Chains A and B, each alone.
Chain A
Amino acid sequence: MEDVANQVFSTLGDKPGFQLAQIRFVAMREENLSYRNGLPFNCANLRESGTGVRVRVDNSWGFAATDSMERQDVIDTALRAFKVAKASAQVSRKPSVELAPEPIYKDSYSVRIDKDPFDIDIKDKMELLRDANQATRDASEHIRMAISNYRSRDTRVHFFSSEGSVIDQRLMFTGGSMQAVAISGAETQTRNLQNFKSRGWEAWEEFDPIATAATSGEEATILATKAEKCPSGKSTFILEPYQLGLTIHESCGHPSELDRVLGYEADFAGTSWLTPEKLNNLQYGNDKINITQNPAMEDVLGHFKYDDEGVQARSVPIVKNGIFVGYQSDREHAAMLGLDRSSGNSKSDGFDSVPIIRMNNMFLEADTSDEGFADIDALVEDTRDGIYGLQWKSHSIDDKRLNFQFATQIGYKIENGEITTPLKNVTYQAITPEFWGACSGLTRTSKIYGLPYCGKGSPNMQIGYVSHGGPWGRFEDVNVGITG
């Protein structure tokens, strides 16, 4: 591959206006197995391999891709990328911008894989899924739909840059979801428990699919048969790490992506209220709020050592003691803002996708001070009345990421420091800085979950793999129980 890459660089290097070329040879395999109501359902293998070439010419980008790694196909694709970049230069940015600098790397890296999932006998996988599916169905006679899913993806990326970087990475994720639909009379309720990690088969074992499947069935039954309607009004509201992570994803993750901030996502995802003059000047939340992005953290979904521009992943604070202090960027957008280095967030979802700014692992820091609560039990005990919401059901937020409204799958009343009645259709709505400014307690314990579905990019949307979470958090005077 290196030989082919060098031939591409020498072919393009003499062309007028050529500045930079990045080549990714990508080979990906995935296994996706499911059981639905006792039957195997949509069990599939996925294989994708090809080459993506990104070229910078006259300060404009061009990208071309082919589902081949053969020498001549790659050279032809590189020439195509050059032609595309020339076309971009017809409507180019003025004034032009240099890319933020990054050291040259020659490295090989793999995420930690104790047991290769693709070496596990498929028969064993199917039997485990069948048993998990049965565990959901055994929860009660109210279970009308049980879906048990397992996924593992193995991606090998060889990256070459005309600047000199040569990086070989093996990235993997493994996990699944256990979904139950329960019906009682006119009430239909769903519970879906899932998790994914940048690990091998051991991540699936940790997920404990049979026990998790049983829990999904039991809690769906509670929702359909016993849960009360969520009350409407202002309430103290506690979120567990999964749903807190979703709230971070939408209200902090997306608005701190620098392409959105600078107007380059306006046609699809929107813009951002975190405009450049607010950097280091905005009270994003109160002083309990510390939000960090760190794709270098091992094991979590979205983990990598180098992004798709060859920038080394690192921890970057986004909110520190309540103050907004950082953006997620790539090399070009970092330079536009005058930052001295990219945060390493440039990612694509396949060989034929162009790298764009993506969040990967963003989380709320636990409160390790004396004010922090030991765990969720201590936090609930300290709460006179309120609502405890768990896991994502629905989400919506405006194009600048200020007004959000989310629903959780299940909730519970908190009365006099105790969890009491289960609640269904729990919704909460808030304005981003008001919500994070109303945090009244975090635990010292925390947890991070993986979510393999984040859509961004246009005109062809890409799917990102992200991790989020943190401690259990309590927020005051939150609007809950939103109705039509």
Chain B
Amino acid sequence: MEKNELYEEAKRLLEICRKLGAEHAQVMISGLYNVGTRFGENHITQNVGRKRLNIQIRTQLGQKIGNYAGSKLGENAEQELQNTMTLTKLSADDVEFPGFLQEQPRYPEMTDRYAEVEPEELSAVIGQIVETARGVDSRLETVAGNLNWMSNRTWLLNTHGLEAYNESSTLSGVINVAARENGESRSTLNYGSGSLATLPAEQKAREVAETAVRGLHPKEIDAGKYETILMPGAATALMNFVAFGSSSQGLVNHSSFLKDKLGEQIMDPRISIKDDTLNPDHLAARRFDSDGVPTPEITYIDNGVLKDYAYNLRNAKKLGVDSNGRNFTGFQGEMPMFFSPHVTTGSKDLDTIISEVDDGVVITNLFYNNFVNAPEGLCTGLTRDGLFRIEKGEITHSLKNMRWTDSILSIFGSAEPARDATQVKGFFFGSAITPPIRTDSFNFSSKGKH
């Protein structure tokens, strides 16, 4: 659907809510265009083209609230929204509901971009990736990955007159390469971009292929604490935990390891993180959140000091503060979070940082990371696709994977970012821009088997 068609549909749905008896209502409608291509063993295995609407409607009657989520409503809209109004009427008062925004905010400037690509264009890029990666070394046997184009046009309207519009197109992907010589070594690289033209596909393919070759013939190390360099993929994985910890949801649910730490020095003074929401290269770039609140850039870790949590209107009301526009709403509920972290770079380049490590490791990626106990920030996971030993300032050989179990605040308690940052597609949030980060101590709790 075009921008004006989406707008008219949102207006129609608001009018139906009013007609059905809602005092107020809010509609968020997104038109999605998606081409997602997946490849493995050097060929395309899945290829998906989707066009659909995503609609979220909230109806209000006093302090009673009902929600609708789903696909195109069409001629059934009145009947479906009648069910939502029934749910609204029969609900008890939700005294924590903050209401909808009653004034039109002034949204920050951001470059809009919307485009649609054809599946053949993504397939051609994948062909280049496979060919480039395999061409790096004769031991590179198989290439896997995916490439995903997502374009969205989104309107948020409410019956108080709020109107907000955002459009975006993003490209993100993964390349996984396997090298084999008396065993297998894989390497994985996640990346994102705003367009096909700026996608550094061949450069990334070469980079990941070279890492896979370097990973051949791994040796073992013992469990224990190691001085560690977290490459951008690994650092981003740990930023997920910081994102969860700094969500006000964790304050309300008593699950955050950053609860009651506002204003405290929680990380090394060399670490600063901002939520770079307005950078259109970020996969979650936006100028307003799902409450319609503007999303300014926020530095939430400033020289290691916790400066802010991510709020939505509901949690902000409950906690007695103003929302800073970080809400994300899905069918299962709301989750305010800093979705676009950008870690400030340091003064030294990566080679210099490596040269200063006498005995340590380099972690390319971390895998299946999870809280062991969220309120204390104790986490676990594994290295994946590229663990290397540093001896006397040089990377000497690859290592078998290790399980890590450590406290996030301990890892970043004495840590130094390198100079050059890379954008990495995230998992639970959009994407992160982060340099490699050296930490004095990273705890490996047991050995892996490969």
Q: Give the interface of A toward B (CB within 8 A).
A: 30, 32, 34, 39-50, 60-68, 80-81, 83-94, 122-123, 126, 130, 144-145, 181, 183, 188, 190, 262-268, 270-271, 273, 351-352, 354, 356, 393-400, 402-403, 405, 407, 425, 427, 429, 431, 458-460, 479, 482-484
Q: Which residue of A lies closest to B45 (CB)?
A: A264
Choose from A394, A402, A483 the contact partner of B448 (Cβ within 8 Å).
A402
Instruction: Find chain A residues with CB under 8 A from B65 CB.
Output: 40, 43
Query: Given the complex of chains A and B, what is the CA–CA distance between A92 and B445 in angstroms?
Result: 42
Q: Give the interface segment out of B115-123, B199-207, B227-235, B342-350.
A: B115-123
**B405 A483 Cβ-Cβ under 8 A:** yes
**B127 A431 Cβ-Cβ under 8 A:** no
Query: Given the complex of chains A and B, what is the CA–CA distance between A458 and B91 in angstroms?
Result: 37
**A183 B46 Cβ-Cβ under 8 A:** no
Task: Give the top 4 A-B pairs by smallest Cβ distance, nearest first.
Answer: A459-B148, A44-B67, A87-B119, A264-B40
- Supposing A91-B39, A91-B43 touch, asked if A458 and B127 sit within 8 A by C-beta, the answer is no
Q: Give the interface segment out of B13-21, B261-269, B298-306, B377-385.
A: B377-385
Among B46, B64, B147, max chain A CB count under 10 A is at: B46
**A484 B119 Cβ-Cβ under 8 A:** no
Contact with A along B91-113 (1 / 0, CB 8 A): 11111100000000000000000
Instruction: Find chain A residues with CB under 8 A from B86 CB.
Output: 122
Query: Given the complex of chains A and B, what is the CA–CA distance between A191 and B73 in angstroms?
Result: 38
In this assembly, does B70 line the interface, its C-beta being within 8 Å of a C-beta of chain A?
yes
**B43 A181 Cβ-Cβ under 8 A:** no
In this assembly, does B49 line the interface, its C-beta being within 8 Å of a C-beta of chain A?
yes
**A458 B174 Cβ-Cβ under 8 A:** yes
Query: Given the complex of chains A and B, what is the CA–CA distance between A181 and B374 in angstroms?
Result: 12
Query: Given the complex of chains A and B, what is the CA–CA distance between A425 and B178 in angstroms?
Result: 37
Among A30, A262, A403, A459, max chain B CB count under 10 A is at: A459
- Supposing A263-B142, A267-B38, A407-B372 touch, asked if A484 and B445 sit within 8 A by C-beta, the answer is yes
Q: How far is the CB of A299 from chain B (nearest CB, A)?
A: 24
Instruction: Find chain A residues with CB under 8 A from B369 CB.
Output: 396
Instruction: Find chain A residues with CB under 8 A from B38 CB.
Output: 264, 267, 458-459
In this assembly, does B48 line the interface, its C-beta being within 8 Å of a C-beta of chain A?
yes
Residues from 35 to 66 in B contacting A, C-beta threshold 8 Å = 35-53, 64-66
Query: Given the complex of chains A and B, what is the CA–CA distance between A482 and B373 in angstroms?
Result: 11
Instruction: Find chain A residues with CB under 8 A from B385 CB.
Output: 399
Q: Which residue of A lies closest to B256 (CB)?
A: A188
A-B contacts, 30 of them at CB < 8 A, read A32-B332, A45-B69, A46-B68, A46-B331, A65-B48, A81-B49, A83-B118, A88-B37, A88-B123, A90-B123, A122-B87, A264-B41, A265-B40, A266-B142, A266-B144, A267-B39, A267-B188, A268-B146, A394-B372, A396-B380, A396-B403, A398-B367, A398-B401, A403-B382, A405-B372, A405-B446, A429-B446, A482-B445, A482-B446, A484-B372
Q: Give chain B's interface secondary structure class.
A: strand
**A122 B40 Cβ-Cβ under 8 A:** no
Q: Give chain A's interface secondary structure class.
A: mixed
**B373 A394 Cβ-Cβ under 8 A:** yes
Query: Given the complex of chains A and B, what is the CA–CA distance between A395 and B367 in angstroms?
Result: 12
Choose from A67, A91, A273 the contact partner of B123 (Cβ within 8 Å).
A91
Choose from A88, A92, A403 the contact partner of B403 (Cβ within 8 Å).
A403
Query: Given the complex of chains A and B, what is the CA–CA distance between A48 and B55 in angstroms?
Result: 10
Query: Given the complex of chains A and B, what is the CA–CA distance between A63 and B46 in angstroms?
Result: 8
Among B175, B333, B381, max chain A CB count under 10 A is at: B333
Q: How far is the CB of B93 from chain A (nearest CB, A)?
A: 8
Instruction: Find chain B residues with CB under 8 A from A83 CB.
Output: 49, 118-119
**B123 A354 Cβ-Cβ under 8 A:** no
Contact with A along B222-244 (1 / 0, CB 8 A): 00000000000000000000000
- Supposing A264-B144, A352-B52 touch, asked if A399 and B367 sit within 8 A by C-beta, the answer is yes
**B47 A43 Cβ-Cβ under 8 A:** no
In this assembly, does B407 line the interface, its C-beta being within 8 Å of a C-beta of chain A?
yes
Instruction: Find chain B residues with CB under 8 A from A188 CB.
Output: 254-255, 375
Query: Given the complex of chains A and B, what is the CA–CA distance between A190 and B367 in angstroms?
Result: 25
Q: Which residue of A lies closest to B55 (CB)?
A: A47
Residues from 420 to 450 in B contacting A, C-beta threshold 8 Å = 443, 445-450
Q: How far is the CB of A98 from chain B (nearest CB, A)?
A: 16
Query: Given the complex of chains A and B, what is the CA–CA distance between A34 and B119 in angstroms?
Result: 41
Instruction: Find chain B residues with CB under 8 A from A80 CB.
Output: 49
- Supposing A48-B70, A263-B40, A264-B144 touch, asked if A90 and B127 sit within 8 A by C-beta, the answer is yes
Q: Which residue of A lies closest to B126 (CB)?
A: A91
**B91 A40 Cβ-Cβ under 8 A:** yes
- Supposing A45-B84, A407-B372 touch, asked if A354 and B46 sit within 8 A by C-beta, the answer is yes
Q: Which residue of A lies closest to B174 (CB)?
A: A267
Q: Which residue of A lies closest to B52 (CB)?
A: A67
**B49 A63 Cβ-Cβ under 8 A:** yes
Among B73, B84, B92, B448, max chain A CB count under 10 A is at: B92
Query: Given the complex of chains A and B, what is the CA–CA distance between A30 and B118 in angstroms?
Result: 33
Query: Given the complex of chains A and B, what is the CA–CA distance between A44 and B380 in angstroms?
Result: 34
Instruction: Find chain B residues with CB under 8 A from A46 CB.
Output: 68-70, 331
Instruction: Find chain B residues with CB under 8 A from A394 CB.
Output: 370-373, 380
Choose from B48, B72, B176 the contact partner of A63 (Cβ within 8 Å).
B48
- Supposing A181-B254, A263-B144, A398-B401 touch, asked if A425 and B41 sit within 8 A by C-beta, the answer is no
**A403 B448 Cβ-Cβ under 8 A:** yes
Instruction: Find chain A residues with CB under 8 A from B275 CB.
Output: none
Query: Given the complex of chains A and B, what is the CA–CA distance between A427 and B368 in angstroms?
Result: 16
Instruction: Find chain B residues with CB under 8 A from A90 CB.
Output: 44, 120, 123-124, 127
